[in-house]
């Protein structure tokens, strides 16, 4: 008995070894692969007749089909560039490509937020962010301390026990209370500005998104429908309406071009307007102040150039940056005309090229 | 950063991290699934729920009807930050019902109702399974998955469900799990196999499959698919994620890489070539040339 069994086992093992193990699979249509997702799509229609009857036969048919497909997928995966992780003895690791099959996102992509009031100003002036050191030298403690926070340089502000009375102040006034009040006001102003920036961002973001988000209210949908109607070449004048849709009421002020002043109104104002018109026509001075226009243009170009170069340019030394900022601050400080005059002196070439000979 | 853009800013770092994890990002987190048992969910349905996503535990009982009212689903999705859900229920009209769905921006994007006809659980098949958490290979067989719109969405939904986290590298010996979906005759057969790699003559191993659970026979019932433009919107990827094309590099059919270099216009007479002594200009010749070519300014006295 035992001998027979051993023989059987040996025969089976021999057969296993010699049986051709092919990795070839024949398919009518090629499979589509997405190796980033370990995905294979088989467009061949499966043998419907074979799979109809329930039971183990169907299971074996399904398993054969699955085996063929899995073999093809594995063949592709083994063709990927592979390397040995952790040196020569480590496991063989293949580098997967990016997943190609497009799946919907979980949430919409993040919207860029509109710039805050300070950011707009900084962009206009060309002010770039200066990187500060995280530690400051504290003379009293003779060590490097952080700029703010726990154990900051300059001691704990809550423990400041001395507040000098300045020269012109009322001697009865509580200076410490004044400091505290000033701090509270600063905090409140900061918070107010933050909320204002938030409201501005929210306002621009909430302006009707013209694509479906799946959860729009009735008012939003009405607004979107109105905007869509007007977005034609003839501004919605020839758009047919739905059977029960109410006609758009004519706007009360008659639009921009159909607005007229009253016929019999303020005679003095009318006379003044006509005289002003005649004066403008007869004066030799040009209506457009060329110098102001040119300087405005130059300022805009400055702002654009600063914004474009700002990130690419390497950090200059502190001195260079301060020197660069000072002329900007000075001309910003002076009045418009004064600033314009100074700017003119700094750039004779640019202005002269564009100035007409007056 | 959205955490800092709220009216009430988070007061602790932990709260801030929590909010940042949930806000919309460029590259998103792996999607989580929530499993919900509807009213009178029978044992089959419960088993299915437990087997399919075996590392999750069913979290909710008794939400009314997803096809009629979606607000409670959306509420739970928002609370638990899950964008995929599986809802199981059972009644006389729809026995052994399973609803697979996904969310976009915490609102229902797609929902497909499937009826479970035949179910073989993990426990019924006794052999050793592959470890939990292995990324499965997904195979979809059948032309219905390409031709029929509902089947296409179902395919996308199933891929979303079962694909697992996106990884850059994968250990080839660790590919153990295969999920195979076949669409035949209006039914979808889902089978789950363990992969055995056998030696073959060449580098690619021969694959043998062993059936582990669960295996499901599904019939598609109702569907609630998102409109085309909403679906397109959800597919939209931000520009920053698009791979940057390298300019001036091209490949040909044979795999050779070609590069283009753009040069300025060259003066070929001033080109630096090898110096050949015989061609060197002698001083006599040079003066003759100069005399003819260079313009001489004549001074009129």
pLDDT digits (tens, 9 = 90+) for B161-204: 888 888 888 888 888 889 999 988 888 989 888 888 888 777 78
**Region A262-275: what's the mean pLDDT?**
87
Instruction: Please tell me the predicted confidence (pLDDT) of residue A228.
Output: 85
A39 close contact with B: CB closer than 8 A? yes
The pLDDT of residue A333 is above 80: no
The phi, psi pair for B42, rounded to 5°, reads: -85, -175
**Chain B residue at shortest CA distance from A40:** B139
Q: Considering only residues 238 to 267 of chain B, which have any Cβ-Cβ distance to chain A shorter than 8 Å?
A: 238, 243
Highest mean pLDDT among A86-90, A107-111, A268-272: A268-272
- Window from A28-32, A43-47, B293-297 with minimum mean pLDDT: B293-297
Q: How many CB atoms lie within 10 A of CB B192?
A: 25
**Chain A residue at shortest CA distance from B141:** A42
Instruction: Please tell me the predicted confidence (pLDDT) of residue A3.
Output: 65
- Window from A99-103, A328-332, B83-87, B250-254 with minimum mean pLDDT: A328-332
- Structural domain includes residue A17: yes
Chain B partners within 8 Å of A110 (Cβ) = 2, 23-26, 238
**CB contact (8 A) between residue A70 and residue B209:** yes
3-class SS at B151?
Answer: helix
Q: How many CB atoms lie within 10 A of CB A194?
A: 15
Instruction: Please tell me the predicted confidence (pLDDT) of residue A184.
Output: 95
Instruction: Please tell me the predicted confidence (pLDDT) of residue A185.
Output: 97
- Strands A39-42, A32-34: pairing kind: antiparallel
The pLDDT of residue A15 is above 80: no
| High-pLDDT (> 90) share of chain B, % | 10
Question: A79 and A10 in one domain?
Answer: yes
The pLDDT of residue A292 is above 60: yes
Which is higher by pLDDT, B10 or B278? B10
Sole residue written with tokens 């040909």? B252
The pLDDT of residue B151 is above 50: yes
Question: A151 and A195 in one domain?
Answer: no
The pLDDT of residue B63 is above 60: yes
CA distance B39 to B68: 14
- What domains can be seen in chain B, in order of their start residue? 13-241 (3.40.50.10480)
A35 close contact with B: CB closer than 8 A? no
User: How many domains does one find in chain A?
Assistant: 3
**CB contact (8 A) between residue B175 and residue A95:** no
Confidence of residue A294 (pLDDT cuts 50, 70, 90): very high
CA A245 to chain centre: 39
The pLDDT of residue B3 is above 80: no
Question: A76 and A13 in one domain?
Answer: yes
Instruction: Please tell me the predicted confidence (pLDDT) of residue B58.
Output: 56
Confidence of residue A347 (pLDDT cuts 50, 70, 90): very low
Domain finish residue from A203, A229, A255: A229
Burial of A42 (0-12, 13-18, 19+ CB in 10 A): buried
What are the DSSP calls for A229-280, one per residue?
HH-STTTTTTPPPPTTPPPPPPPTT-TTTT----SS--HHHHHHHHHHHHHH
pLDDT tens digits, A194-212 = 999 988 888 776 665 666 6
Residue B214: cis peptide before it, omega within 30 degrees of 0: yes
Interface test with A, best of B26, B136, B141 (most A CBs within 10 A): B141
For residues B155 and B116, the answer to whether their CB atoms sit within 8 Å is no
A213 close contact with B: CB closer than 8 A? yes
Question: A150 and A197 in one domain?
Answer: no
3-class SS at B274?
Answer: coil
A78 close contact with B: CB closer than 8 A? yes
Instruction: Please tell me the predicted confidence (pLDDT) of residue B91.
Output: 86
The pLDDT of residue A315 is above 60: no
- Structural domain includes residue A66: yes
B203 close contact with A: CB closer than 8 A? yes
Dihedral of CA A332/A337/A338/A343: which sign? positive
Confidence of residue A16 (pLDDT cuts 50, 70, 90): low
Domain interval for residue A49: 6-84
The pLDDT of residue A337 is above 50: no
**Chain B residue at shortest CA distance from A113:** B1
**Region A177-200: what's the mean pLDDT?**
92
Instruction: Please tell me the predicted confidence (pLDDT) of residue A348.
Output: 45
For residues A105 and B83, the answer to whether their CB atoms sit within 8 Å is no
pLDDT tens digits, A127-155 = 888 888 889 998 888 999 998 888 888 87
Question: A132 and A78 in one domain?
Answer: no
- Structural domain includes residue A285: no
**Chain A residue at shortest CA distance from B109:** A214
Dihedral of CA B290/B291/B296/B299: which sign? positive
Smallest Cβ distance to B169: which of A63, A95, A103?
A95
Chain A partners within 8 Å of B106 (Cβ) = 107
Q: Backbone dihedral region of B123: left (phi > 0), alpha (psi from -120 to 50 degrees) or beta?
A: alpha
**CB contact (8 A) between residue A94 and residue B203:** no
Chain B partners within 8 Å of A66 (Cβ) = 139, 141, 178, 180, 191, 193, 209
Which is higher by pLDDT, A230 or A4? A230
Instruction: Please tell me the predicted confidence (pLDDT) of residue A344.
Output: 44
- Structural domain includes residue A132: yes
Which is higher by pLDDT, B296 or B62? B62
Question: A221 and A185 in one domain?
Answer: yes
CA distance A272 to A281: 14
Instruction: Please tell me the predicted confidence (pLDDT) of residue A141.
Output: 86
The pLDDT of residue A298 is above 80: yes
pLDDT tens digits, A239-251 = 888 888 877 776 6
Confidence of residue B247 (pLDDT cuts 50, 70, 90): confident
Question: A215 and A149 in one domain?
Answer: no
Average pLDDT, chain A: 77
Query: Any idea what DSSP says for residue B281?
Result: P
Cα torsion A321, A324, A325, A329 to 10°: value is 170
CA distance B128 to B131: 9
- Structural domain includes residue A338: no
Domain finish residue from A51, A84, A117: A84
What's the complex ipTM?
0.76
Question: A198 and A136 in one domain?
Answer: no
**Region B205-213: what's the mean pLDDT?**
84
Distance from CA of A88 to the nearest CA of B (A): 14
- Structural domain includes residue A161: no
Question: A177 and A151 in one domain?
Answer: no
3-class SS at B21?
Answer: helix
The pLDDT of residue A187 is above 90: yes
The pLDDT of residue A343 is above 60: no
- Strands B97-104, B249-251: pairing kind: unpaired
Domain finish residue from A33, A68, A84: A84
**Region A96-116: what's the mean pLDDT?**
84
Instruction: Please tell me the predicted confidence (pLDDT) of residue A19.
Output: 52
- Structural domain includes residue A340: no
- In chain B, how many H helices and how many E strands? 7, 12
- Structural domain includes residue A143: yes
B231 close contact with A: CB closer than 8 A? yes
Chain B partners within 8 Å of A93 (Cβ) = 169-172
Smallest Cβ distance to A105: which of B28, B145, B200?
B28
For residues B198 and A21, the answer to whether their CB atoms sit within 8 Å is yes
């Amino acid at each position: 008995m035992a001998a027979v069994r051993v023989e059987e086992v040996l025969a089976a093992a021999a057969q296993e070894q010699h049986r051709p193990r092919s990795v070839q699979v024949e398919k009518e249509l090629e499979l589509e692969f997405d190796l980033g997702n370990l995905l294979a799509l088989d467009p061949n229609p499966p043998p419907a007749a074979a799979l109809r009857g329930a039971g183990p036969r169907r299971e074996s048919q399904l398993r054969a089909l699955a085996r063929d497909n899995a073999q093809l997928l594995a063949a592709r995966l083994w063709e990927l560039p592979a390397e040995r992780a952790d040196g020569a003895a480590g496991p063989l690791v293949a580098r997967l490509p990016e997943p190609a099959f497009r799946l919907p996102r979980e949430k919409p992509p993040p919207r860029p937020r509109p710039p805050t009031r300070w950011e707009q100003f900084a962009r206009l002036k060309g002010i770039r962010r200066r990187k500060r050191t995280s530690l400051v030298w504290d003379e009293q403690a003779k060590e490097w301390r952080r700029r703010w926070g726990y154990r900051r340089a300059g001691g704990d502000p809550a423990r400041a026990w001395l507040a000098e009375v300045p020269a012109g102040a009322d001697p009865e006034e509580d200076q410490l209370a004044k400091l505290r009040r000033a701090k509270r006001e600063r905090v409140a102003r900061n918070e107010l500005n933050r909320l204002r920036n938030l409201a501005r961002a929210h306002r621009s973001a909430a302006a009707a998104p013209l694509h479906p988000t799946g959860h729009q209210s009735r008012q939003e949908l009405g607004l979107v429908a109105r905007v869509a109607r007007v977005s034609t070449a003839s501004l919605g004048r020839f758009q047919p309406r739905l059977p029960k849709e109410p006609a758009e009421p004519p706007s009360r002020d008659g639009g921009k071009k159909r607005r007229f002043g009253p016929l019999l109104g303020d005679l003095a104002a009318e006379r003044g307007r006509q005289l002003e018109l005649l004066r403008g026509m007869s004066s030799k001075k040009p209506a457009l102040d060329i110098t102001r226009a040119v300087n405005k243009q130059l300022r805009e170009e400055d702002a654009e150039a600063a914004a474009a170069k700002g990130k690419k340019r390497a950090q200059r030394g502190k001195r260079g940056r301060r020197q660069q900022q000072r002329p900007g601050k000075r001309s910003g400080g002076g009045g418009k005309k004064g600033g314009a005059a100074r700017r003119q002196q700094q750039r004779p070439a640019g202005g002269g090229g564009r100035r007409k000979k007056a | 950063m959205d955490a800092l853009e709220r009216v009430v800013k988070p007061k602790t770092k932990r709260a801030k991290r929590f909010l940042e994890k949930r806000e919309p990002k460029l590259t998103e987190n792996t999607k989580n699934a929530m499993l919900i048992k509807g009213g009178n969910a029978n044992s089959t349905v419960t088993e299915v729920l437990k087997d399919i996503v075996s590392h999750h535990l069913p979290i909710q009982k008794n939400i009314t009807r997803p096809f009629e009212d979606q607000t409670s689903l959306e509420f739970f999705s928002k609370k638990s930050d899950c964008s995929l859900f599986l809802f199981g229920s059972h009644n006389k009209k729809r026995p052994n019902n399973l609803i697979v769905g996904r969310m976009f921006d915490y609102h229902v994007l797609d929902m497909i109702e499937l009826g479970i006809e035949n179910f073989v659980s993990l426990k019924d098949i006794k052999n050793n399974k592959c470890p939990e958490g292995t990324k499965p290979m997904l195979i979809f067989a059948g032309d219905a998955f390409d031709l029929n719109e509902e089947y296409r969405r179902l395919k996308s939904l199933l891929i979303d469900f079962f694909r697992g986290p996106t990884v850059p590298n994968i250990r080839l010996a660790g590919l153990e799990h295969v999920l195979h979906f076949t669409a035949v005759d209006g039914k979808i057969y889902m089978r789950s196999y363990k992969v055995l790699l056998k030696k073959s003559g060449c580098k690619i191993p021969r694959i043998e499959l062993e059936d582990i659970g669960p295996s499901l026979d599904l019939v598609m019932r109702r569907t609630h698919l998102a409109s085309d433009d909403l679906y397109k919107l959800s597919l939209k990827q931000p520009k920053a994620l698009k791979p940057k094309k390298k300019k001036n590099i091209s490949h040909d059919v044979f795999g050779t890489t070609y590069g283009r270099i753009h040069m300025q216009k060259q003066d070929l007479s001033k080109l630096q070539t090898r110096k050949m002594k015989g061609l060197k200009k002698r001083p006599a010749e040079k003066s003759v040339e100069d005399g003819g070519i260079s313009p001489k300014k004549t001074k009129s006295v």
